[in-house]
Structure formats: structure tokens, C-alpha cells
Amino acid sequence: MNQQRQEAVIANIKSRGRSYGIIAIFFIAAIVVLTTLSGSWYTVDQSERGVVLRNGAFVGEAEPGLGFKIPVIDNVVKISLQTLKAEFPQVPAYSMDQQPANLNVSVTWKVDPGRVKEAYADFKGIEGLLNRVINPQTNKQLKSVFGQFTAYRSISERAKFNADFDIALRDSVKEFPVIIESVQIENIDYSTAYEQSVEQRMLAEVEVQKLEQNARREKIQADIRETQADGEARAVVQQAEAEAKAIKLKGDAEAYAIRERAKALAENAKLVQLVQAEKWDGRLPQTMLPTGSIPILDMREREK
């Protein structure tokens, strides 16, 4: 009886083991199916592009949205197309006049959307492009362009320096699948000795400008005084000319009157006697020559 019970228990255990095995197999199969199904689709964000690889070989590009692939065999590598910023602090360089400086530069860039395959195949994505293209070209072109400027011009013509560097960097990466959006020369640090010399030169230039302004102001004031003097002199000359003309006109009038009066007297001798009579005060001369005559009496006798 005991033996039969033992055999029944053993059979029961074996039966349960087979059931558990079947459940485990179904569970594992379900996991495999779910894993397979979940690996057969993918999504690509709007700011990304996908590179579809089959057993490691490129088979196509994945556009934004939902896509399907062969599970296990296919793989999708996503590459961001967002704008990235690379910063380059304290880049050592020499100016045209051999002044050492440390430059702080930033570059904004992104992967060319039309060359995603090349970006992955040749550079394996963002990191490869940054390390093999952006970093070395930025350092190279920055030092090259900076070497074309003297230390003074790099400061006084900062905008041109930035623009020349921008053009040089863009030209240098044309063959690579990247787009340079902007560059910025954020700071230029020269040695303390050079900065002090620049400060002294600026102070000297300010002093020169001040002296030039004073000289221009004095010249303007001198010109004003000269103009005023010229005006006053012209006024005096004009007044003198006017007075001379008035005197001349008065003299001409008097001369004309004298001429006319002399003419009239010459034409009428008795008019002279009349004028004398008009001016006689009625008194006889106190002294007379023996042969002289009194003009008024002589005139009256002639009239008789």
C-alpha cells in the first residue's frame, strides 16, 4: 500500500514537471515573439535621420516617422541634425607681428541632411565629425587667419578678423558632410606687457586727438576773428567810399554853380554892380586912392 502511494506521488510530480516545462517553453516562446515584433519597427524624430544597416552594410536612409525593419538582421543608427556648438577656449596663436595670444572661439555647426550616409560611413556620426573635421579645421584656420593680422589690427578690426575666419572655415569643410552656421571670436588675450603698451598708445592717441581738436578750435576762432575783421574793414571802406562820393558830388555841384554864376556875370557886367549894391552896408570906405571912385556912385552916374 505504501509502495503504491509512493509511485502515485512520483507520477504526480512527473506530471507537474511536464506541465511546468510546457509553460516555461510557451513563456520563452512568447518572449521571443514579443522581442521579435518589437524589433521589427523603429521611429525617427523630425530632427534626426536614420541609417539602415543590414548585417553592418548600408541599405538605406530612414526619414522621420515610423519605419519597419527585419528583426535581428537590420539595425537603424540615428544621427542628429540639430545645431551643435563647439567651444575652443584658450587656443594659442601668433599674430603677424609675432605677438602671442590665446583666443576663445565658438563654432555652431550641424550634419548636412543630404549627406547623412557619408557622415556615418566615413566618420561614424557626430563624434567622428567633431574630432576629425570641426576641431582640427577650426584650430588650423584660426591660426592661419590670425597670422594675417597684426596684434593691433586684430583688435581694431575685430569684425573683419571674425568675417575672414568665418569664410576660411566654411571653405575648408566644403568637402565634408557638415554645415557651418556661424563662428564667433569671443575673446583675444595678449600678454600683460603688450596690453600695457596698447593702453599707453591709446592714451597717447587720445592726447593727440585732444591737441588736434584744440588746434581745430583755435583755427576756427581765428577764422571767425579774421572774417569779422574783414567785415569791419569792408564796412569802413564802404563808408569812406560813400563819404568820398558825397564830397565829390558836393564839390561838383559847387563848381557847377560857380561856373554858371561866372558865366552869368561875364554876360552882364551890370550884374556885378548889382551884387555889390546888394551887399553894401551903406558906409563909405574910410580910405581911398586919389584916383579911386566909389563903386555905387559910379554905377548911379552911369545910369543917369
Q: Cα(141)–Cα(161) distance, rounded to whole angstroms? A: 12
Strands 100-111, 178-190: pairing is antiparallel
Strands 57-62, 65-68: pairing is unpaired
Confidence (pLDDT) at 176: 97
Contact of 50 with 79, CB cutoff 8 Å: yes
Q: Cα(240)–Cα(148) distance, rounded to whole angstroms? A: 70
Confidence (pLDDT) at 303: 47
Confidence (pLDDT) at 218: 82
Confidence (pLDDT) at 244: 76
Confidence (pLDDT) at 304: 47
Specify the pTM. 0.56
Confidence (pLDDT) at 302: 47
Confidence (pLDDT) at 19: 59
Q: Return the number of other C-beta atoms located less than 10 Å from residue 109's C-beta.
A: 22
Burial 35-63 (b: 16+ CB within 10 A, else e): eeeeeeebebeeebbbbbbeeeeeeebbe
CA atoms within 13 A on the CB side of 217: 6
Contact of 107 with 88, CB cutoff 8 Å: yes
- Which 3 state secondary structure label does DSSP give 254? helix
Contact of 106 with 85, CB cutoff 8 Å: yes
Q: Which residues of the chain are modeled with pLDDT < 70?
A: 1-39, 195, 198-199, 202-206, 262, 264-304
